[in-house]
């Protein structure tokens, strides 16, 4: 089995320029054929990169009693392939937003949620797990709501900086996680805007872990504190890639958080409903959960 470090490869300036060129000069149909061929070659050559190995480990923590290691590797391989399709679309359509939106479908529930969010006199918070097409969800959110702030990871790599530039091209205001980002989030909510973030990437700096799939994980909680302080609702979304190449958006909400005697109680108790929705989404679509990073508390001890 040959191992490759795709993170290091993608952070190479030449690789980033090639990615930009490839996504702009290749048609979606041709790209799908090429990416499917690359998937077959990776399987034939038994190429496995570090992020994919990490994903297998994360899946094993959750589904280890239900699936064999071989089955989990197959799920991870499919996820890696689906992520490449969504990533291509994300870059390919950056100058054709209308073209991308033609491939985005809202469930009746999601359409109703968007209407509820637009009618809110307060700001709102949108959260989502890291699925392969979460960036596509971000595109739709940015078009639905003109004042959208995305709180992303702090200290982004070169490839992640390119992702952020593309997100901004779609109309999203990106602020890497920091105290200044939280201050800006407060202003966004006070002016009736939308604050969005992912909720299932480890944040070891948190004071205490939450329970995720029955296991300890240091997950971000700043959105809970924001929602409580400014008394705004939270909406939980997921975006999945269908077999026909369309992106289906669904969600739940509004979620109004409850206040408790201590900050720890407020975070732990309010996180339960939110993480239950996240767990249900991952259980339904494990092949679309692209958590390629260490996640569990014992990995940071």
pLDDT at 160 over 90: no
Confidence of residue 23 (pLDDT cuts 50, 70, 90): confident
Residue scoring higher pLDDT (169 or 271): 271
Q: What is the pLDDT of residues 57-80, one digit of tens each?
A: 999 999 977 888 889 888 988 898
Instruction: Name the DSSP class of 291.
Output: -
Which pLDDT value is given to residue 155? 75
CB burial readout 213-245, b (16+ within 10 A) else e: beeebbbbbbbbebbbebebbbbbbbbbbeeee
Predicted confidence at residue 9, as pLDDT, reads 46
Helix (H) or strand (E) holding 149: strand 148-152
Residues of the chain with pLDDT > 90, as a percent, come to: 45
Comparing CA positions, the residue from 198, 207, 208, 211 lying closest to residue 167 is: 198
- Cα separation, 291 vs 58, in Å, equals 8
The per-residue pLDDT for 45 is: 53
Q: Which pLDDT belongs to residue 4?
A: 45
Helix (H) or strand (E) holding 113: helix 108-119
Task: Report pLDDT for 22.
Answer: 75
pLDDT tops 70 at residue 46: no
Alpha carbon 99 to its chain's center: 22
Task: Say what the pLDDT of residue 48 is.
Answer: 62
Q: Residue 152 in contact with residue 217, Cβ under 8 Å?
A: no
């Amino acid at each position: 089995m040959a191992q490759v470090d795709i993170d290091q490869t993608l952070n190479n300036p030449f690789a980033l320029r090639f990615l930009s060129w490839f996504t702009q000069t290749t048609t979606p149909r041709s790209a799908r054929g090429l990416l499917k061929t690359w998937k077959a070659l990776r399987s034939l050559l038994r190429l496995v990169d570090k992020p994919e190995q990490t994903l297998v480990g994360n899946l094993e923590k959750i589904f280890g009693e239900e699936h064999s290691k071989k089955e989990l590797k197959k799920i991870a391989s499919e996820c890696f392939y689906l992520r490449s399709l969504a990533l291509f679309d994300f870059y390919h359509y950056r100058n054709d937003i209308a073209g991308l939106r033609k491939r985005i479908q809202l469930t009746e529930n999601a359409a109703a949620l968007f209407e509820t969010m637009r009618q809110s006199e307060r700001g709102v918070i949108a959260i989502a797990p890291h699925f392969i097409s979460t960036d596509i969800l971000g595109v739709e959110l940015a078009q639905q709501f003109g004042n959208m702030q995305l709180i992303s990871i702090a200290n982004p790599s070169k490839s992640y900086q390119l992702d952020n530039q593309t997100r901004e091209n779609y109309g999203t205001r990106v602020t890497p996680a920091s105290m200044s980002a939280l201050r800006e989030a407060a202003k966004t909510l006070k002016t009736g805007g939308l604050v969005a973030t992912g909720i299932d990437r480890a944040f070891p700096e948190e004071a205490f872990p939450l329970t995720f799939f029955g296991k300890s994980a240091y997950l971000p909680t700043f959105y809970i504190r924001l929602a409580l302080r400014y008394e705004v609702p939270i909406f939980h979304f997921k975006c999945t890639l269908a077999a026909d190449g369309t992106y289906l958006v669904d969600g739940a909400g509004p979620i109004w958080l409850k206040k408790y005697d201590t900050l720890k109680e407020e975070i732990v108790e309010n996180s339960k409903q939110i993480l239950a929705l996240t767990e249900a989404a991952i259980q339904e679509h494990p092949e679309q959960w692209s958590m390629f990073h260490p996640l569990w508390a014992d990995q940071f001890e």
